[in-house]
Structure 1
């Protein structure tokens, strides 16, 4: 995954998998016991998420159709909900602490 900010590319060593079918989007990370490590998922299309039946916290990035960050959510805990994000077409679920570690901010461009 790459972050582009002010025409400068930053590599983020995280392997992303696409969850773009009904069943993959429906299940997401539910019931996964071990926290994410150097991996994440892109749920497409998606403009909101829930953390029901989750066993660990994650970071979430919502992006628009230009792959620009609209909203970041740090350390989202199990049994929480993120309401719809206007303009979002995808949610990227990442290991807890990723947003802070790589200083991911609104308007950054995400390439996967």
Structure 2
């Protein structure tokens, strides 16, 4: 699935994998090669993430139900933990540098195509 930043008219990902199932979210990128993922929750909530057994840095984008960016974490390093300050319904795990490259910022609107 393609992820487009509608506000900046840039592409965050050309081939992201949608992960709505609990087992997909639990596994995430652990023991996987680099791949963009989109986690989907049933309602907005705080979604902490860890980088245990993920051996490369990534960028994280949190979005609300309207796919508005509410929080971001650039260059999330292996073996670290992140607890967001904001509730979200969607979490994007992207290749490191995607946020900077696309100039994505809080309050931008995204589209999943």
Structure 1 and Structure 2 fold alike (TM over 0.5): yes
What band does the TM-score fall into relative to the shorter chain? 0.7 to 0.9
Secondary structure of the structure 1 residue equivalent to 2:100: helix
TM-score between the two structures when normalised by the length of structure 2 = 0.84
Q: Residues 21-71 of structure 1: CA distance to partner in whole angstroms, max 9, x if unpaired?
A: 111111000011x3x3xx511011272211111111000100000100011
Which 4+ runs in 1 deviate beyond 4 A?
A: none
TM-score between the two structures when normalised by the length of structure 1 = 0.85
Q: CA deviation at 1:90?
A: 1.5
* Structure 1 residue 42 corresponds to structure 2 residue 38: yes
Contact 1:62 1:72 in 2 (8 A): yes
Q: Residues 74-108 of structure 1: CA distance to partner in whole angstroms, max 9, x if unpaired?
A: 11001111114422112100001000000010000
1:93 matched residue in structure 2: 93
Aligned-residue RMSD, C-alpha? 1.6
Query: Which consecutive residues of structure 2, in runs of 5 or more, have no partner in the other structure?
Result: none
1:20 matched residue in structure 2: 20
Q: CA deviation at 1:11?
A: 3.4
